[in-house]
């Protein structure tokens, strides 16, 4: 008699377990959604970092042509297969060249695009610094006297505009 | 630079003094170099497709995996057609190209299709749609396109038996242009 | 007939230009003599002739004379009349002629002004300005001719003004019409204002070169004389750039307004050097310093103007603006090279005549901060220039073309612009010659602190992006500083017993330049606010919806209702329009109708976003795609653009400020009228 309750308990457990497994299996089979497993936003996040290989200067996420739509679909398929962002970008570069990247890589010749503006700015800054120092070499006392003596034109500018408050142009015709 | 205390009555000339001769020379040299660089670059961009001379050599790996090298095709007439699946005029000439290929394939003429900036699935679908049987392959990193300086697609290059470029068709081909050209090159 | 008449007028105007240059050179030593007067008349006549030429092109467009190639390419029967007129600048040939006409108009205006102390400059101003004009006339006549007709010669179609031998007229039934992208109010205003800006800068350049040639460059007279020209040119260039941005936002369908496109950059660079020049010229006017630097700036601006026109018109660096490539490229390149080198040579050989009247008195002074600002402007110009030409250079040296896009410009120019905004805020507080640091600190601590509190407040609302917080702090700091200046001025006047409103009015009346300038700066701050908002906090999402389904972005919900298709413009424009409902946190806001149009004749698609604008943000909805069969699903893209409308608002304030600053003083107008009173028939006072 003791075996029966044990048996029925076991049966119940097995049934419940089986039901549980079946339910779990059913739950994981989602109904087909209108959305793809990889969302448009995820595709665009990658496409944003790429430029259309054909049309000039158009980012891939906004390019309206059919070719670009196909490329975005291709990215979606690659993402579904589990590719990383880097892998997708590498694939595009390998097939279409480095111009397909929105941001020039910071190595090789392309590094120059980043380096030169910095050099230019620094060089300009250095020049400015030198100029300011050179112009600033006199003691203030000699300076103020000197500027009044210097040349005829400075006399006509003798009035300090900051004090008088009138900073309009010298009277004359508007044109 | 020595710190000069300007004499009474003498206007300061810091600015012109600073720009010594070699600074001026440097400035001019830089400007000329920049202009030369720009000019060179603009001129390089303005080049036209290769119309004559030796056909730039290349190797094309077809979608089937076969590798074809242009220089190995000497002795045959070669028609190189640049196309893309997203290019509407290419679709216009595709049937004509395939028909002409079938007509001349046993007469020592080779057709090579170079797929320009395209995605493989779309390219294969295109080839399927027009039932194209001559070899086609992707132009990886646009090497071939750059060698032939194409401006767009479709463009078709005529190569004679000695490997010389004998003209280019910019835009789609319509009958009987290709037939006439092939006849001309075969008779060479 | 009218077409031929127009072309002859153009050719005659070219001859008039040649003659004007010749006569000006003949009369360069005899300033009151007949030669110079004749040159002046030639310039005015040339303008009249060019006006006839332009009008005949417009006639071709409006009347639909499609045998004329330009009318065929840009006009169409179905287009409304005002759009046909705007087709004048819708294509390459027309826009070059339009540029030429504007240049001629400005040169004629310069001839009409009263020349007294600076009459010595007149012959050379004519040579330089008309020389530029002549280049464009030559390009218009021989390279990009809007008067060419289409003819059949045998099987081919040939373009020529006159009928070729054995040629028969080829008259298309209808024109191709204006590119649909160009049929937008912004696009209608953008080229003319941009050109006005470009052309306007040629005048100060001409005066500068004339001053150098005649040895009068040491005087600030040429800067004073051309001050309003510079301001007007700058104003138009600013308007042109803002309109371009607005057009891009409305029509290009990517939720942004500036893409650092090569053509955008090419028109932005002269604005940068032009603004630097505008400020740096003040130093020469007030303190007689930076004379060489101002020359360099105006030469750069002129060359960049030509470079900008070159890039836009020649299609050499292709972009949204791409026109067909032609021989125009080499012509422009030669012109730019020659003029740039010649100007530089002129400057270098005349260097000795440019002597600074003053020295820099202190490291902390308005002069030095203006120099700092110039350094930043030039830094941005250089970085932008380099980024624009680098793809081409990369292709030259490595065979690979690379793309230099917004990530580069944001990283490089971003900090520099921030520096500029900061400088803009504190520079007006700097006194000329010497500024005490203590006094500066006393004036700045309050706005600095208040802005810090605002920044902290924003941090508490959940904004953790340090750069964005800095941006907001900067905008608040500079904004407060400017308002503080107004406050100080009003308070000072109120001591005279005026109420605040009158005080404000008097401030502007007495000191137009200064307070107008402050208003411009305020406009810039507002635009900066918009830039910070959209740059750091733009959100987007995309999704495919079946009717009834919704897309969610932040607090907004977009529900797709229906899709309908219809035709406009006699079947040429096929519209696919979606109706969507916008909700915010559950509350219904508005029904939006984004649509996508397809123009059959040009095969061009056009995306029309539906935008809900509010001061805080724009909700920007695009219809991206739809299922062709069954119309069951459509893809939408939503952008949330925070604070974007502050850009347009700031632009309006900027324009108002410039007008205020440029308005002639009452006394000046009275003097001007009195000087001309006999001619005007008004009895002299």
C65: DSSP letter: -
Give the residue, C242 or C396, on which the prediction is more confident: C242
Asked which of B51-65, C216-230, C468-482, C667-681 is least confident by mean pLDDT, the reply is C667-681
Distance CA B130, CA B132 (A): 5
Q: Nearest-CA neighbor of C309 among C382, C237, C229, C396? A: C237
pLDDT for C124 equals 94
Distance CA C640, CA C534 (A): 8
pLDDT for C173 equals 87
Asked which of A19-28, A87-96, C546-555, C638-647 is least confident by mean pLDDT, the reply is A19-28
Structure tokens that stand for C654 in this block: 């900027």
The beta strand positions in B40-170, using DSSP E, are 53-54, 59-61, 67-69, 77-83, 109-115, 136-138, 155-159, 164-170
* Digit-coded pLDDT (tens) for B123-172: 999 999 999 999 999 998 888 998 898 888 899 999 999 989 999 998 89
pLDDT for A139 equals 44
Q: Nearest-CA neighbor of A76 among A25, A28, A39? A: A39
pLDDT for B9 equals 38
pLDDT for C666 equals 67
Asked which of C207-211, C524-528, C633-637 is least confident by mean pLDDT, the reply is C633-637
Q: Nearest-CA neighbor of C594 among C605, C583, C608? A: C608
pLDDT for C676 equals 65
Percent of chain C having pLDDT more than 90?
Answer: 54
Asked which of B34-43, B51-60, C668-677 is least confident by mean pLDDT, the reply is C668-677
Give the pLDDT band of residue A18 (cuts 50, 70, 90).
low
Q: Are B16 and C355 inside 8 Å of each other by CB?
A: yes
pLDDT for C249 equals 92
Give the residue, A133 or C521, on which the prediction is more confident: C521
Q: Are A165 and C511 inside 8 Å of each other by CB?
A: yes
Give the pLDDT band of residue A20 (cuts 50, 70, 90).
low
CA distance A83 to chain C (A): 21
Q: Cβ distance C199 to C235 under 8 Å?
A: no
- List the Cα angle B50/B51/B55 in 5-degree steps: 65
Element (H, E) at C518: helix C512-537
Q: Are A96 and B6 inside 8 Å of each other by CB?
A: no
pLDDT for A8 equals 65
Does residue A146 register a pLDDT over 70? no
- What separation in angstroms does the CA of C178 have from each of C85, C173, C439? 11, 16, 59
Domain ranges of chain A: 40-103, 106-135
Q: Cβ distance C321 to C263 under 8 Å?
A: yes
* Digit-coded pLDDT (tens) for B137-147: 999 888 899 88
pLDDT for B42 equals 78
Determine the straight-line distance between the first and last CA of chain C, rounded to whole angstroms. Answer: 52
Contacts of B8 in chain A (CB under 8 A): 146, 149
Q: What is the mean pLDDT of chain C?
A: 88
**CB contact B45 to A (< 8 Å):** no
Q: Cβ distance B79 to B109 under 8 Å?
A: yes
* Digit-coded pLDDT (tens) for C268-320: 999 999 999 999 998 888 888 888 999 999 999 999 999 999 888 765 554 33
Contacts of C51 (CB under 8 A, 6+ apart): C101
The beta strand positions in C379-421, using DSSP E, are none
Percent of chain A having pLDDT more than 90?
Answer: 26
Distance CA C375, CA C373 (A): 5
- The residue written with tokens 């009277």 in the block is A171
Does residue C207 register a pLDDT over 80? yes
Q: If DSSP codes are grouped into helix, strand and coil, which group holds residue C582? A: strand
Task: Return the CA Rg of chain C.
Answer: 28
Structure tokens that stand for A103 in this block: 């941001």
Mean pLDDT value across residues C62-76: 91
Cβ neighbours of C355 (radius 10 Å): 21
Q: If DSSP codes are grouped into helix, strand and coil, which group holds residue C606? A: strand
C565: DSSP letter: E
pLDDT for A36 equals 58
Element (H, E) at C229: helix C227-251
Give the pLDDT band of residue A6 (cuts 50, 70, 90).
low
Distance CA C362, CA C659 (A): 33
pLDDT for A164 equals 39
Q: Classify burial at A141, counting beta carbons within 10 Å of its beta carbon; exposed 0-12, middle 13-18, buried 19 or more.
A: exposed
Distance CA C199, CA C550 (A): 51
Give the chain A residue nearest B6 (alpha carbons): A146
Does residue A157 register a pLDDT over 80? no
Give the chain C residue nearest B44 (alpha carbons): C396
Give the highest mean pLDDT range of B43-57, C177-191, C448-462. Answer: C448-462
Q: Are C355 and B42 inside 8 Å of each other by CB?
A: no
Q: Are C395 and B44 inside 8 Å of each other by CB?
A: yes
pTM, two decimal places: 0.86
Q: Which of A33, A37, A40, A95 to mutate to test the interface with C (most CBs of C within 10 A)?
A: A40
pLDDT for A24 equals 52
pLDDT for A140 equals 42
B-C Cβ pairs (cutoff 8 Å, strict): 68
Distance CA B84, CA C103 (A): 45
**CB contact A132 to B (< 8 Å):** no
Q: Cβ distance C670 to C247 under 8 Å?
A: no
Asked which of A36-40, A45-49, A58-62, C367-371 is least confident by mean pLDDT, the reply is A36-40
Mean pLDDT value across residues C53-59: 96
Q: Nearest-CA neighbor of C655 among C525, C509, C520? A: C520
* Digit-coded pLDDT (tens) for C562-579: 888 899 877 778 999 999
Give the highest mean pLDDT range of A136-150, A156-170, C242-256, C469-483. Answer: C469-483
Give the highest mean pLDDT range of A5-19, A99-113, C43-57. Answer: C43-57
CB-CB: which of B11, B38, B46 is closest to C389?
B38
Backbone angles phi, psi at C536, to 5 degrees: -95, -25
Contacts 24+ apart (CB under 8 A), C545-552: C545/A34, C545/C633, C545/C634, C545/C635, C545/C636, C546/A34, C546/C632, C546/C633, C547/C632, C549/A34, C551/C636, C551/C638
Contacts of C391 (CB under 8 A, 6+ apart): A99, C317, C401, C402, C403, C404
| ipTM value for the complex | 0.82
CA distance B53 to chain A (A): 27
CATH class for domain A40-103? Answer: mainly alpha
- Do you find a cis peptide bond into C93, omega within 30 degrees of 0? no
């Amino acid at each position: 008699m003791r075996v029966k309750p044990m048996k029925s308990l076991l049966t119940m457990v097995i049934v419940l377990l089986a039901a549980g497994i079946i339910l779990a299996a059913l739950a994981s089979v989602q109904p087909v959604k209108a959305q793809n497993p990889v969302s448009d936003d995820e595709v665009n996040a990658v496409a944003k970092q790429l430029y259309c290989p054909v049309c000039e200067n158009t980012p891939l996420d906004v390019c309206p042509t059919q070719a670009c739509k196909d490329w975005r679909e291709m990215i979606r398929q690659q993402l579904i297969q589990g590719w990383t962002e880097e892998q997708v970008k590498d694939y595009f570069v390998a097939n279409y060249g480095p111009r397909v990247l929105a941001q020039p890589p910071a190595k090789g010749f392309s590094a120059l695009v980043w380096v030169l503006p910095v050099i230019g700015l620094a060089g300009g800054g250095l020049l400015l610094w030198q100029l300011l120092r050179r112009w600033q070499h006199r003691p203030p006392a000699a300076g103020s006297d000197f500027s009044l003596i210097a040349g005829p034109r400075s006399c006509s500018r003798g009035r300090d505009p900051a004090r008088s408050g009138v900073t309009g142009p010298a009277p004359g015709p508007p044109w | 630079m020595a710190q000069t205390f300007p004499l009474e009555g003498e206007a300061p000339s810091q600015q012109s003094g600073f720009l010594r001769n070699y600074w001026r020379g440097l400035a001019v040299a830089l400007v000329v170099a920049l202009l030369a660089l720009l000019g060179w670059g603009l001129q390089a961009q303005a080049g036209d497709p290769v119309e004559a001379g030796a056909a730039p050599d290349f190797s094309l790996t077809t979608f089937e995996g076969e590798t074809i090298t242009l220089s190995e095709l000497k002795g045959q007439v070669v028609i190189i057609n640049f196309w893309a699946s997203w290019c509407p005029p290419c679709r216009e000439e595709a049937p004509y190209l395939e028909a002409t290929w079938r007509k001349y394939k046993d007469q020592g003429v080779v057709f090579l299709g170079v797929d320009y900036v395209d995605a493989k699935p779309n390219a294969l679908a295109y080839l399927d749609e027009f039932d194209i049987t001559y070899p086609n392959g992707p132009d990886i990193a646009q090497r071939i396109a750059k060698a032939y300086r194409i401006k767009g697609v479709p463009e078709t290059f005529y190569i004679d038996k000695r490997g010389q470029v004998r003209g280019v068709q910019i835009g789609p081909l319509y009958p009987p242009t290709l037939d006439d050209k092939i006849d001309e090159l075969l008779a060479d | 007939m009218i077409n031929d008449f127009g072309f002859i007028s153009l050719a005659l105007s070219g001859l008039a230009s040649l003659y004007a240059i010749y006569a000006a050179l003949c009369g360069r030593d005899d300033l009151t003599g007949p030669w110079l007067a004749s040159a002046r008349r030639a310039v005015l006549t040339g303008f009249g002739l060019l006006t006839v030429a332009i009008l005949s092109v417009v006639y071709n467009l409006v009347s639909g004379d499609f045998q004329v190639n330009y009318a065929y390419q840009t006009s169409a029967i179905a287009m409304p009349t005002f759009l046909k007129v705007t087709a004048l600048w819708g294509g390459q040939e027309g826009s070059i002629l339009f540029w030429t006409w504007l240049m001629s108009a400005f040169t004629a205006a310069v001839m009409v002004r009263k020349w007294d102390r600076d009459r010595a400059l007149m012959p050379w101003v004519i040579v330089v300005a008309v020389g530029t004009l002549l280049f464009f006339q030559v390009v218009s006549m021989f390279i990009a001719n809007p008067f060419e007709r289409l003819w059949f010669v045998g099987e081919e179609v040939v373009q020529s003004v006159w009928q070729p031998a054995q040629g028969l007229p080829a008259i298309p039934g209808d024109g191709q019409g204006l590119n649909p992208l160009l049929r937008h109010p912004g696009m209608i205003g953008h080229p003319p204002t941009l050109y006005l800006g470009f052309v306007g800068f040629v005048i100060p350049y001409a005066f500068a070169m004339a001053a150098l040639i005649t040895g009068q460059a040491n005087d600030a007279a040429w800067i004073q004389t051309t001050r309003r020209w510079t301001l007007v040119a700058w104003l138009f260039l600013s308007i042109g750039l803002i309109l371009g941005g607005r057009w891009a936002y409305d029509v290009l369908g990517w939720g942004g307004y500036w893409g650092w496109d090569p053509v955008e950059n090419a028109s932005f660079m002269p604005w940068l050097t032009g603004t630097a020049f505008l400020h740096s010229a003040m130093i020469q006017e007030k303190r007689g310093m930076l004379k060489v630097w101002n020359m360099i700036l105006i030469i750069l601006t002129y060359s960049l103007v030509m470079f900008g026109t070159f890039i836009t018109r020649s299609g050499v660096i292709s972009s949204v603006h791409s026109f067909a490539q032609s021989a125009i490229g080499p012509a422009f390149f030669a012109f730019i090279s020659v003029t740039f080198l010649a100007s530089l040579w002129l400057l270098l050989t005349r260097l000795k005549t440019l002597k600074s009247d003053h020295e820099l008195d202190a490291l902390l002074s308005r002069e030095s901060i203006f120099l700092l600002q110039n350094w930043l402007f030039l830094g941005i110009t250089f970085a932008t220039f380099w980024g624009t030409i680098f793809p081409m250079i990369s292709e030259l040296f490595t065979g690979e073309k690379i793309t230099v896009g917004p990530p580069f410009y944001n990283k490089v120019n971003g900090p520099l612009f921030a520096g500029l905004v900061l400088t803009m805020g504190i520079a007006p507080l700097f006194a000329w010659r010497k500024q005490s640091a203590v006094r500066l600190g006393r004036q700045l601590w309050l706005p600095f602190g208040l802005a810090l509190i605002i920044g902290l407040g924003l941090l508490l609302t959940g904004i953790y992006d340090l750069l964005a917080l800095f941006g907001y702090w900067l905008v608040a700091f500079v904004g407060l500083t400017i308002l503080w200046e107004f406050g100080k001025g009003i308070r000072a006047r109120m001591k005279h017993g005026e109420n605040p409103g009158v005080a404000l009015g008097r401030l502007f009346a007495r000191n137009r330049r200064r307070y107008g300038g402050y208003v411009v700066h305020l406009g810039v701050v507002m635009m900066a606010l918009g830039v910070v908002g959209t740059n750091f906090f733009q959100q987007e999402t995309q999704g495919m919806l079946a009717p009834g389904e919704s897309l969610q972005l932040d607090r907004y919900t977009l529900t797709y209702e229906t899709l309908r298709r219809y035709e406009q413009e006699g079947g040429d424009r096929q519209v696919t329009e979606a109706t969507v409902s916008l909700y915010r946190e559950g509350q219904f806001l508005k029904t939006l109708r984004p649509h996508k149009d397809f123009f059959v004749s040009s095969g061009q698609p056009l995306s029309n976003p539906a935008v809900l604008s509010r001061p805080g943000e724009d909700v920007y909805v695009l219809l991206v795609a739809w299922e062709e069969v069954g119309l069951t699903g459509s893809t939408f893209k939503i952008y949330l653009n925070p604070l974007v409308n502050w850009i347009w608002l700031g632009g309006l304030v900027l324009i108002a400020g410039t007008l205020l600053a440029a308005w002639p003083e009452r006394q000046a107008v009275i003097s001007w009228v009195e000087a001309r009173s006999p001619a005007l028939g008004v009895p002299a006072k």
